[in-house]
Structures are given as C-alpha cells and as structure tokens.
Amino acid sequence: MTVELEVEQRPLRDAARKFLDHHASPAEVRRIASATARLDRSYWAAAAELGWTSLLIPEEAGGGSISGHPFADLAVLAEESGRHIAPGPLVPCNVVARVLSQANTDQLRDRVGGILDGSSVATWALAEAGGWDPDKVTTRAERSQDGYVISGVKQVVEAAPDADVFLVTARESDGIGQFLVEGSAPGLTVLPKRGLDPTRSFGTVEFCSTPIPAAARVDGDVPGENVAELAYCAAIAIQVAETAALMHEVFEMTIGWVTHRYAFGRVIGSYQAIKHRLAEHFLAIEVAAGLTASLSAALDAGSPEASTLASTAKSYIGDVAVDLVQDAIQLHGGIGMTWEHDLHLHLRRASTNRVVYGSPAEHRERLCKLAGV
C-alpha cells in the first residue's frame, strides 16, 4: 500500500506476514477451501498470541496498541489477512473484544481474556432480514424475572458455527442494547450456511426465548445505539483494510502476468487498451488506501465523521474491488478462469466482503440518511 507505516507498525506487519506465509500459504488456503473442517483452534490461538485480538483493547484490560493508534495497527493486520486470503474470525473477535472491554461489569470484562488468548471465539450477531443497519434491528430482548429473554433470528453471522459466545444486538423497550449470549444457552440454534468464501464460516442464529442473566447486558458509559454504531464502523474499518490490500495483491499479480505474457509478438501489457485498464485499477487502489487510512484515523481520534467515512469506504471499495479482480481474471486469459489459479479465491473473498456489513447500495443509501437527505 502507498500509506507509510509507523516505525512501530513494521515489526507487527513483518510478524503477521511471516506467520501467514506459513499458515495461509496458497497451498494451505486451498487445503482449507477444499475441506469441510471448522476453524483450526491451534491456528487461531497462535494468531491471538501474536496480538491479533488485543489491539483494540485498552492496556488496563490486558490489550494494548503498538503505535498508540489501535485501529491503524489493526488495519496493518487486516492488510496482511487480505493479501493471504487468511482464514479466521479477525473482524468479529476484535469487534466483540472492543465492546466488552468497555463494559462496566467485571464479569463481562473477564470474558475478554478468552478472546485475547484465542481460547474463546466470539462473534457479533447483527444482521437480520432487514439488512445490516443497527437501526433496523427487530430481535427483541425482554425483561424477565431473572434477566432477559432473547427472541429473533440473526442472518449471515460470521464464525457462528465456531463461536463460543455471541454479542447480540437486540431491541429493548427503550432502544438498542448489546447482550452477551453463551453458545450453549437454551433456545439458541446455529444453522451453518455455505458461503462463497470457503475459508470462512457463516451461519444463521435463531434465538427462541433464550434466557440470559441480567449481567449479560453490556452496560457502559455510551448509549446502546452509539455502541452499535461504533462497533459497526469498527467492523467496516477492519474489512475494508483487508479488501484494499487484496486489491493491491491482485494488481501486482496481474502486472507480473501482463509484463511476461506475449501475444502477437508483443508483451500484452504494452497494448494501450490494457494500459488504460491497469491505470484505472491503480487509481482505485490509491483511493481505497486513502479511504481506509482516513477511516482508521477517524476512529482512533473519535471523530464524528467516522460513520460517514465508513459508509463511503464500504460503498466505494465494495464495487471497485470486485471489478478489479474480475478484470484481472480476464487479463489472465484462459488460465485465470481455471480452478487451479488463485484468482478465484481472491474474487470469493472480495465478493463476500462486498456484501457482509452492508452492500455498496445499502451504504449509499446510508450516506443519504447521514446527510439528512
């Protein structure tokens, strides 16, 4: 990427790259893609040991940033994940850890320890039939004698088949709340779903009058609606950083191909029509890098512009990333259309990221809403 790293971030990038070169090599990603096994817990524990789940957590809660800019640090990891098409619940674990670390109760903060060491996989149950907007949540959390009862259905929950704990965004009588629900809770059912990206798992989660204790409600100094909004922006920031780096990786693969492949006695990259297409993709990569860096900086600074930047980045990168990878497949010719080439794995990840946490069309609509239109 063209965004310069801080000096402190370079060892983080190098350690992640070395780790993923071994654990998410092209051969290993293909093995994962062709298998039906669930998340490799030893792999995720090793990733957590490298700090993959600790960057958004304050030092007093057991985490800590490398450079003092936690979202920018996490974007560095996300970029390496995108380059390698790495498996693992990077987005949901970090979002849940962030929310729980800011809770008022010790019981909830103690749950962060399992996420930090990788022994517990956490996920965020947000989306419903109405989409990804936190304002459209219909799952109910009703008060009971001993706590709350959760009822509703959550769609496209990342890592749901592997999750030990679910952060559930649900509607209360006076607004939106966040609730921590154990995977073994009565009335909770996970229906695994086959996704386009074979390296990550998704599922539908049904809550049928699921009882939870009163302490499972995530209380904090920030209203529930604002917690959901900040978590939403955090999830998007991690995801778009991954997608932007994926674009750069595919672009480099394509440059390597068109500068060595001959057709009609000439390197195909010398043809003007191909040069124009590559120039447009390079511009898209530069814009994507700038948007992801701006979003991370806004979240680190607590800027009120974070929501607008999140939807801007999501709507732009979601479209241009898929366009770039699809064009890269075309520029690779017949070889790009084969299962044996890695480009289809990049397309699967880009296409999945395009719609998870909201499609470009949904975020353009959200931008209009944020602007008061």
Q: Residue 124: what are its φ and ψ, rounded to 5°?
A: -110, 120
The pLDDT of residue 115 is 94
- pLDDT interval class at 3 (50, 70, 90): low
Q: Check residue 40 and give left, alpha or beta (phi > 0: left; psi -120 to 50: alpha).
A: beta
CATH 1.20.140.10 fits 224-370, yes or no: yes
Question: Tokens for 260?
Answer: 């060595």
The pLDDT of residue 318 is 96
The pLDDT of residue 44 is 95
Whether the CB-CB separation of 257 and 90 falls below 8 Å is answered with no
For the chain, give the mean pLDDT. Answer: 92
- pLDDT interval class at 309 (50, 70, 90): very high
Question: Tokens for 258?
Answer: 């068109």
pTM of the model: 0.95
109-118, 159-168, 198-207: range with lowest mean pLDDT: 109-118
Q: How far apart are CA 131 and CA 181, in angstroms?
A: 21
- pLDDT interval class at 42 (50, 70, 90): very high
Q: For residue 220, what are the CA distances in angstroms to 26, 94, 366?
A: 43, 18, 26
Q: Which CATH architecture has domain 9-116?
A: Orthogonal Bundle (1.10)
Task: Give the mean model confidence (pLDDT) for residues 51-76.
Answer: 92
Domain boundary assignment for the chain? 9-116, 122-216, 224-370
Task: Give the mean model confidence (pLDDT) for residues 40-68.
Answer: 92
H helical segments located in the chain: 9-23, 26-34, 41-49, 70-84, 90-101, 106-110, 112-116, 224-258, 272-301, 306-331, 343-355, 360-370
Task: Give the mean model confidence (pLDDT) for residues 284-310.
Answer: 96
Beta bridge partners of 307: none
What pLDDT digit, counting tens, does each position of 263-292 carry?
A: 888 888 889 999 999 999 999 999 999 999
Task: Give the mean model confidence (pLDDT) for residues 238-264.
Answer: 94
Contacts of 302 (CB under 8 A, 6+ apart): none
What pLDDT digit, counting tens, does each position of 121-174 carry?
A: 999 999 998 788 888 899 999 999 889 999 999 999 999 999 999 999 999 988
Q: Which CATH class is domain 122-216?
A: mainly beta
Res. 36: pLDDT tops 70: no
The pLDDT of residue 1 is 45
